[in-house]
Amino acid sequence: MKIKDVEKRTHMDRATLYYYEKEGLLSPERTENGYRIYSAEDLLMIEKIKLLRSLQISIEELKALKREETSLSSVLKTQLNLLSSEEKKSQDAKEICQKMLAQGETFVTLYPEQYLKSEEDTTFLNRYDDSPEELPQVYDPIRRFFARFFDYTLYITLWYLALYLTLRIDLQNRSFLYLLLDQMVTMALMLVVEPVLLTLYKTTPGKKIFGLRIEHSDGTPLQYHEGFSRTFLVLLEGMGFLVPLVSLFTLIISYNRCIQGEIQPWDKNIAYRIKDRNALRGVLFAVLCTILLSITVLLQYLYFMPPNRGNLTVEEFTENFSHYQKIYNLPLNGKRLKSSAAWESPYDFRDLYLPHHVTTPPNLTFTMKDGFVEAVSFDIDVRDTDFYVYHYGEYMSLISLALMTPEWNLATTREKADKLVDYFSWNSSSSYTMNVLGVEIDNDVLFEGFEETHNHTMPLRDVETNFYRQKFLAAKSIP
């Protein structure tokens, strides 16, 4: 029988079961992966312990009974005498209370000497410790892990949401250093916010989902500094500050502590309680995690959308152009489009000896109506050259995306845009017309004396004349 079944049958929580096991009163078998299996003899022993503990039999006496170092009759006789003594003491206390009331004592005028006996029988008082045997703990590594996982996911989602709303940052193509920064900020948020939640509510969102709460033994919430210390130890000894391998090592150690019934270092002197183990909590966890993941994905799709939509000025077009150049990481040979639609070219020594058509980006021509961009085009005309001609697929992609009208389905918009960029990268020197995402595209290419390769067109040898002509036009579709 597994421990959760024993809990239901005996109405005894696993923290108490682990305590009795630690004291040597229980010895369940272990499976290969460390899980406890309780036999019928173990269940009988648990019932015996419950009965005798209800009679205030001490743990030491229970251990002596199990080792057959004493008899049950002897223990019961001793206990009966002690209970009788306690009854006598209760009667004495009752008489003293009545006497103090009769004499009208107040706390200020009270002189206790006249009421205290010269010799106090403390045998029964010393026999038992008023402190609890062991603070309740939740030895469930799966629930605890997913509660922590949800909290971390919530914090990092809030961080990403703040980044998008304030800086409109690309979340999909974060560099390693920025991902490291995200991780550090998320842990800092957890370190600051979680103690506040524990102080106010005794739980966190992840723990609330699984019915978990953390408090003092008397039910009072942790102070902020106690919650801060606990969260710091969780990050250090439980998560290894998410350092690769170190984190895996600390998670394995924490898991083993749980299945062996050991208290985690950050839970010492803290009561960790669970309300119930309802399976619907797992369903709630899955639903809420899906929502958080959807928010992150939605932010990525929203970032992909053009900063400017509808009727575009030249400046708005160039902003869209630069936006997609960044998203798709298209170098354009180091060229950047200014807000005036002029090209900004950093110094390159190759410009001194390479032909003009290799070093110069295409000149963009704007067709305007009422101050708004209707179409953007460029013409390429190269004749009698010994140098290759670059493909202009990157320029074609960025011009088209800058003019596009996104669909309501953001995922479909991203999919079509990706396919368009991929198509232009392989077919920029072919002639075709198409309509994609609200943009009419016309690409007219004619060349002779060249052979086509993947990323450029090479002049043929032993050919005296050659030419390469391309006319590209991208126009906003009329609705």
**Per the structure, how many domains does the chain have?**
3
pTM of the predicted protein model: 0.63
CB-CB contact of 344 with 335 (8 Å): yes
User: Is the same domain home to 272 and 321?
Assistant: no
Does any domain span residue 119? Answer: no
- 200 burial type by CB count under 10 A (0-12 exposed, 13-18 middle, 19+ buried): exposed
Mean pLDDT by 10 residues, the chain (479 residues): 85 83 87 80 88 86 89 86 80 79 74 59 42 72 96 96 86 86 96 97 97 92 96 96 95 92 91 91 96 92 90 95 92 87 76 69 93 95 85 93 92 93 91 95 92 81 87 88
User: Is the same domain home to 464 and 318?
Assistant: yes
Say how many C-beta atoms besides its own lie within 10 A of residue 266's C-beta. 19
Residue 29 has φ and ψ, to the nearest 5°, of: -75, 160
Q: Domain range holding 330? A: 314-476
182 CB-near residues (< 8 Å, 6+ apart): 156, 159, 160, 174
Does any domain span residue 116? Answer: no
Output the pLDDT for position 350: 65
Tokens of 336: 């950047």
Does any domain span residue 349? Answer: yes
Output the pLDDT for position 120: 47
User: Is the same domain home to 451 and 326?
Assistant: yes
Does any domain span residue 331? Answer: yes
Domain endpoint, select from 304, 335, 350: 304
Q: Which of 360, 324, 363 is nearest to 341 (CA)?
A: 363
186 CB-near residues (< 8 Å, 6+ apart): 152, 155, 156, 159
Does any domain span residue 131? Answer: no
Does any domain span residue 125? Answer: no
91 CB-near residues (< 8 Å, 6+ apart): none
User: Is the same domain home to 270 and 356?
Assistant: no
Q: Where are the beta strands (DSSP E) in 184-314?
A: 212-215, 271-274
User: Is the same domain home to 25 and 96?
Assistant: yes
CB-CB contact of 382 with 465 (8 Å): no
Output the pLDDT for position 123: 43
Output the pLDDT for position 129: 43
Output the pLDDT for position 107: 67
User: In Å, how far are 46, 121, 156, 463 from 159, measured between CA atoms?
Assistant: 49, 63, 5, 61
